[in-house]
Amino acid sequence: MNYVLSRLLGRSAAMLVLAIAVPSLAFADLTEEQKLLPAVANAGALAGNSSAISDDGSVAVVGAPGDEAAYVYTRVGALWTQVATLHASDNVVGDHFGAAVSISGDGTIANIAVGAPDRSTGAGAVYLFTGTGAVWAQNTNSPLVSALTSAGHLGKSVSVQGFRIAAGAPNSTAGKGANAGVAIVFDSNDLGVTYTRSTFRANGGQARVGGLFGTSVSLSGSTVVVGAPGYHTGPKLNSGNVFVFVNNGGAYTQQFSVRPGNIANNFAGSSVSVFNNTAAFGAPGNNNGQGAVYVYNRTGTTWSQTATIANPGNTAGDGFGSSVAQLGQFLIAGAPGTNSNAGAAYEFGANGSNYNLVNQLVPSDNPAGATFGFSTSVNSGRALVGAPADGAAGSAYVFKFLVPSVTKITSTSVDPGSASTGVAYTVNVNVDHDIGGSGTPTGSVHVDDGAGGSCDAALDGSGNGSCDVTSNFFGFVTLTATYAGDLTFSPSQDGRQLLVTGNHLVFNPAPPADQVQGTQFVGTVEVQNGANAVITSDNTTLVTLTVEDSCAEPNTIGPVQVVNGVATFATTGPLFYVVAPALNISAAPEAGNDTALANSQVNVVANPDILFTDGFEGCL
């Protein structure tokens, strides 16, 4: 696997925003590093309507749907420079390309997903760009479009992790009534060459008319969180809801539905952020528009509410929770309506199940009516905050932690190559300081493959650590290494994509090397994992046996369903009459099953105990 491409992964679209100084939490100190303005300030660009920052905090993406663009900035030291302006290859005015952006990767190589929700008369689309520095190429499979015929506005929200892209189409009817909404996940197991599309909505009666399911989306490994701020039960219109889906072997199923209360015009789910087993979502309509943020945590498959965060500004119309995101122990929420739409953002630190206010973040020039906090993102020691109404074109601001940390997955024990299901492999990590820092980070790094495999790497005196992960997901998994921070260093993360080989079929017992004339091949096939152990829990795989007879004609038997990981063929094809060498025998799973086939050969040898007539001595 290409090592550079293996770096493509990371956090999802809206992660968070952060704040200024607090003596008791030195690592939470933030200073404004730079204001990002478009190189060409087109009026009405709405730069900062969406924003995202890379895993290592060195690449910033600022969406400008009024300019049909996404601006890319890179950092050298503490200086940010606009290096590229992304446009869709088929874009037309009114598509609103840039309404949503998300980045996955780092300064070496990254993927940028951009939503264009009004493309094709509101059908919408999502575009993917891969590159580094000033060079970005649109993926040949872009645009990734909805199969829906209604104006669903796909791309109103996006979240990318590696080559997995989640996007919302909140205005889709999809057979469930006007504006019920759907979400679509585009998955690629070949580094973006081809994609599969999974379309899902809230279960059954939860897919309500006007629910606006897909207004917000967030990815974390195999978990997808989708906001539906228009959801309601009974007369409590727009109370809002959030739905959690998990990827089980390629199929997305609803795991949970979370709603803090049936409050009219709460608009819960207007923004969402999921990080490992914690989901946070904003309800900007709460309490006459003061807003609120709700936090839920997962234990097993159950989600429970652990915190309700009220608007620190305590002013109607602030829209607190319009943007929300989290990283490690931090949660940040934007309030773009604060101070007559000048805007603000608030940083909270987790203390058990409580979230304490750490700081309020306000830009140094504090432009009037800028709606600062409309979009937010944070990673590896830097925060990016959008202010789309700042001046004529909009802007975004970068803030830097006092001591930003940088987390890296330095190697794995399967570099180069691929891991196997059920076989542990070692992940090596390092945490160090960014520019202007000193000292050594303490604590541990959590490593997660996004599909149930995880471990914790304790850091040594040099900031290095390692631990073993066992992956059971087939195809490319997204390894994420997350450092939660300590009293000196900020949180940070890194990751890469790793190919995990799937199950395979094995003849057991193996076919005989020599098959006597006039006898029949008998076959038993096992489904084994990467550790060559029978998967006794498999009672669904279908296996087809193909036996080549003495005249080189294939004979197909099955399919047969495995029982406890074993497929037994009662009838196994033709009697072998003609002496012949190297006849092929193969067992294959049903189409679409991520299980490697088994191949073998037999030699048909003479049977001295049977006299064959001329009709059985040759092939026509």
> Cβ(315)–Cβ(289) under 8 Å?
no
Residue 74 has pLDDT above 90, yes or no: yes
Rounded to a whole number of angstroms, the distance between the first and last alpha carbons of the chain is 47
Q: What is the pLDDT of residue 13?
A: 39
CATH 3.30.420.40 fits 406-501, yes or no: no
Residue 620 has pLDDT above 60, yes or no: no
Domain 406-501 and domain 503-616 have a common topology: yes
Residue 492 has pLDDT above 50, yes or no: yes
Question: What φ, ψ does residue 286 adopt, rounded to 5°?
Answer: -60, 140
Domain parsing of the chain, residue ranges = 3-402, 406-501, 503-616
What class, spelled out in words, does domain 3-402 have in CATH? Answer: mainly beta
Q: What pLDDT band is residue 350 in, cutting at 50, 70 and 90?
A: confident
Q: What proportion of the chain, given as a percentage, has pLDDT over 70?
A: 87
Question: What φ, ψ does residue 340 adopt, rounded to 5°?
Answer: 55, 45
Among 162, 56, 77, smallest CA distance to 490 is for 56
Q: Alpha-carbon distance 174 to 151, whole Å?
A: 10
Total number of residues shown for the chain: 620
Range name among 441-455, 523-537, 576-590 with the lowest pLDDT average: 576-590
Range name among 250-259, 452-461, 577-586 with the lowest pLDDT average: 577-586
What are the CA-CA distances from residue 391 to residues 49, 259, 555 (Å)?
A: 13, 37, 74
Structure tokens at 163: 């080559």
Among 56, 60, 58, 50, smallest CA distance to 14 is for 50
Residue with more model confidence, 602 or 254? 254
Mean per-residue pLDDT for 198-212?
77
Q: Alpha-carbon distance 5 to 260, whole Å?
A: 41
Tokens 């306000």 belong to residue: 362
* pLDDT digits 0-9 by tens, 44-53: 999 999 999 9
Q: Alpha-carbon distance 53 to 397, whole Å?
A: 11
Q: Which CATH number fits domain 503-616: 3.90.180.10, 2.60.40.1930, 3.40.50.150, 2.20.28.120?
A: 2.60.40.1930
Residue 389 has pLDDT above 60, yes or no: yes
Q: What pLDDT band is residue 596 in, cutting at 50, 70 and 90?
A: low
In this structure, the strands spanning 302-310 and 292-299 are antiparallel
Structure tokens at 590: 């049903």
The pLDDT mean for the chain works out to: 84
Question: What φ, ψ does residue 504 adopt, rounded to 5°?
Answer: -145, 155
Question: What φ, ψ does residue 288 adopt, rounded to 5°?
Answer: 60, 35
> Cβ(447)–Cβ(479) under 8 Å?
yes
Q: What is the pLDDT of residue 276?
A: 80
What are the CA-CA distances from residue 467 to residues 148, 323, 481 (Å)?
A: 44, 35, 11
Residue 31 has pLDDT above 50, yes or no: yes
Q: What is the pLDDT of residue 25?
A: 41
Burial class (CB in 10 A: 0-12, 13-18, 19+), 162: buried
* pLDDT digits 0-9 by tens, 514-526: 888 877 777 888 8
Q: Is the full-model pTM beyond 0.75? A: yes
Mean per-residue pLDDT for 339-366?
87
Among 284, 279, 151, smallest CA distance to 219 is for 279
Query: DSSP of 181-235, one letter per residue?
Result: -EEEEEE-SSTTSS-EEEEE-S-GGGS-TT--TTSEEEEETTEEEEEETT--STT
Q: What pLDDT band is residue 237 in, cutting at 50, 70 and 90?
A: confident
Q: What pLDDT band is residue 330 in, cutting at 50, 70 and 90?
A: confident
Mean per-residue pLDDT for 205-212?
76
